[in-house]
Amino acid sequence: MRTFYDVIIIGAGPAGIFAAMELLHHSNDLSILMLDKGRTLARRICPARTTGICHNCEPCAITSGFSGGGAFSDGKLSLVSEVGGRLTDYLSKDTVQSLIDYANDMYQSFGAPDIVYGLNQKAVDDLKYEASKYDIQLIPCPVRHLGTDASMVVLGAMYKYLTGHKNFRFLELSTVQEILVNSGKAAGVRLQRKGEAPMDVGAQYVIAAAGRGGAAWFLNESRRLGLRTENNEVDIGVRVEVPNAIIDHLTKDLYEAKLVYYSDTFDNRVRTFCMNPGGVVSEERYEGDLAVVNGHSYNDPALRTDNTNFALLVSTSFTEPFDEPIEYGKYIARLANMLTGDGVMVQRLGDLLKGRRTDKDRLKKSTTIPTLASAVPGDLSYALPHRYLMSIVECLKALENIVPGIYSRNTLLYGIEVKFYSAKVEVNSNLATKIQGLYAVGDGAGLTRGLMQASAAGIVAARDIAGISLPAQIQKGRSCL
């Protein structure tokens, strides 16, 4: 293996992949090494996806490997700059939108389906008006839906494109332990490959794209390297599951209805997130053992279920002196794991409102059949703080006005869903840190929280390395194949 590359990319999620594709688009000569602690796409096999039972694999196939969190994701590409991250804090809204349009074209050129939901303006306006009558805000957001099945195909095509390039190398099962810095300049990485002694690989540029799974590591590295960091909020809540029939009128036009409600008692912001019509609830693991809930769906109509699921999340920004929001979120998820023995909990809304646990017999009576068979019936009120629980219940009650039937005793609530947003690392508008040649992009740098903005962030860093100024480079409709 070479001991020096022009660019090393840490993490093979959408941020890393789009950085690599953009670099290769601008220069055939740059040598690029992409490292990921997980496996190549074809070798990412998650037993929980087929058997419903998590085997605590190390590394976790859901969060690590080529495609990062994107591999088993629902592949909902949010096509507006207001959704999926905070890139507009660093770049103008127009620039972010152009980057999203550009990345959207790239996804399509690698086989993403043509259909975009949320473009029926009349339907969007009608739903927006109806929601506003009940203090619910609808955030319009066109969505291109890949589905878990098509995501694999699209990302597989990107893998083929990248690995087919003579100057690109991807190494799986390769964990970066340290970012090497020499006289204030990025110098490479210290790498640990499974079963081998750590080795140093040099580079002129390092792009850190470690995602949420690598957030804690990158935060420590940033602190060690003297980079300034700022806490992000933490989103804590549940995943709601209802029959499709109850919510079809929202999802058929929008696919994903992004709704925001400020709770009556605590005035906390509660939002819907990651809506999966005809989808399945799933379990994902952080740090090998922490079980949290998520959801996804398939593009193939034959794989659609009778249920729709979505997250209902309460956002909290902690103020001084508390500065461990990620640990706080994990603590609450661990509490729920402790109560179930290990794994995700499920409770009927009716049981929660009556102050009793859902047990196996009560769950059997549920007219909404859980799609996550391994979820353990229990009582969420033992794990979720009152503030979160109240806010979620009040939001569901308000949603009943526009989604009749959702505030029903058979609505299923799975816990805990936690979205950890990494601490924000200080970067400039090219997403470069103050260490020359070191870039911080994607979810792991606390800048993004979705596929599209993570992809756009990778493009920004790549263009800076390639010496391309942003606006001049935005050419809509270019195919990079």
Ligand X SMILES: Cc1cc2nc3c(=O)[nH]c(=O)nc-3n(C[C@H](O)[C@H](O)[C@H](O)COP(=O)(O)OP(=O)(O)OC[C@H]3O[C@@H](n4cnc5c(N)ncnc54)[C@H](O)[C@@H]3O)c2cc1C
Strands 258-262 and 234-243, by their bridges, are unpaired
Q: Which of 118, 142, 156, 214 binds ligand X (CB under 6 A)?
A: 214
Q: Identify which range of 4-12, 87-95, 132-140, 461-469 contacts ligand X by CB under 6 A.
A: 4-12
DSSP annotation of 368 reads S
Query: Does residue 209 interact with ligand X by CB under 6 A?
Result: yes
Q: Which of 5, 9, 16, 329 binds ligand X (CB under 6 A)?
A: 16
Q: Which of 172, 351, 443, 464 binds ligand X (CB under 6 A)?
A: 443
CA-closest candidate to residue 38, choices 156, 176, 155: 176
On whether the CB atoms of residues 438 and 10 are closer than 8 A, the answer is: no
* C-beta closer to ligand X: residue 84 or 343: 84
Q: Which of 33, 38, 299, 439 binds ligand X (CB under 6 A)?
A: 38
Q: How far is the CB of 239 from ligand X (least distance, A)?
A: 11
Query: Does residue 329 interact with ligand X by CB under 6 A?
Result: no
Query: Does residue 347 interact with ligand X by CB under 6 A?
Result: no
Tokens representing 47 are: 């037993």
Q: Which of 8, 12, 155, 247 binds ligand X (CB under 6 A)?
A: 12
Q: Identify which range of 87-95, 100-108, 213-221, 339-347 contacts ligand X by CB under 6 A.
A: 213-221
Report CA-CA distances (Å) from 139 to 57, 82, 146, 195, 269: 37, 9, 21, 49, 14
Q: Which of 118, 147, 156, 211 binds ligand X (CB under 6 A)?
A: 211
Tokens representing 297 are: 């769906």
* C-beta closer to ligand X: residue 280 or 349: 280
Q: Which residue has the tokens 């093979």?
A: 12
Q: Identify which range of 230-238, 330-338, 408-416, 449-457 contacts ligand X by CB under 6 A.
A: 449-457
Query: Does residue 344 interact with ligand X by CB under 6 A?
Result: no
Query: Does residue 454 interact with ligand X by CB under 6 A?
Result: yes
CA separation for the pair 21, 462 (Å, rounded): 9
CA separation for the pair 285, 450 (Å, rounded): 18
DSSP annotation of 436 reads B
Query: Does residue 172 interact with ligand X by CB under 6 A?
Result: no
Handedness of CA 152, 154, 157, 163 (dihedral sign): negative
Query: Does residue 72 interact with ligand X by CB under 6 A?
Result: yes
Q: Which residue has the tokens 């399509």?
A: 108
Q: How far is the CB of 337 from ligand X (least distance, A)?
A: 17
Q: Identify which range of 62-70, 93-101, 238-246, 422-430 contacts ligand X by CB under 6 A.
A: 62-70
Q: How far is the CB of 350 from ligand X (least distance, A)?
A: 28
Report CA-CA distances (Å) from 135 to 231, 269, 316: 29, 12, 20
CA-closest candidate to residue 186, choices 34, 38, 4: 4
CA separation for the pair 384, 26 (Å, rounded): 49
* C-beta closer to ligand X: residue 407 or 414: 414
Q: Where do the H-state alpha helices sit in 367-478?
A: 386-399, 451-465, 470-473
Q: Which of 74, 172, 253, 394 binds ligand X (CB under 6 A)?
A: 74
CA separation for the pair 427, 434 (Å, rounded): 7
* C-beta closer to ligand X: residue 294 or 371: 294
Tokens representing 26 are: 């601008």
CA separation for the pair 279, 295 (Å, rounded): 7
ω before 59 within 30° of 0 (cis)?
yes
274: Cβ contacts below 8 Å, ≥ 6 apart? 74, 76, 256, 294, 295, 310, 311
CA separation for the pair 410, 347 (Å, rounded): 9
Report CA-CA distances (Å) from 375 to 26, 133, 346, 367: 48, 36, 6, 16
Query: Does residue 212 interact with ligand X by CB under 6 A?
Result: yes
Buried b / exposed e over 204-213, threshold 16 CB at 10 Å, is bbbbbbbbbb
Q: Identify which range of 10-18, 246-254, 344-352, 365-373 contacts ligand X by CB under 6 A.
A: 10-18
# of chain residues touching ligand X (CB under 6 A):
46
Q: How far is the CB of 453 from ligand X (least distance, A)?
A: 8
Q: Which of 30, 136, 176, 227 binds ligand X (CB under 6 A)?
A: 176
* C-beta closer to ligand X: residue 84 or 377: 84
Q: Which of 142, 147, 188, 213 binds ligand X (CB under 6 A)?
A: 213
Q: How far is the CB of 422 from ligand X (least distance, A)?
A: 9
Query: Does residue 15 interact with ligand X by CB under 6 A?
Result: yes
Query: Does residue 73 interact with ligand X by CB under 6 A?
Result: yes
CA separation for the pair 68, 210 (Å, rounded): 9
CB atoms within 10 A of CB 281: 27
Q: Which residues ranging from 280 to 319 are in contact with ligand X (CB under 6 A)?
A: 284, 294, 296
Q: How far is the CB of 267 from ligand X (least distance, A)?
A: 28
* C-beta closer to ligand X: residue 68 or 237: 68
Under the rule (CB under 6 A), what is the footprint of ligand X?
10-16, 35-38, 62-65, 68-70, 72-76, 78, 84, 175-176, 209-214, 217, 274, 284, 294, 296, 442-444, 449-452, 454
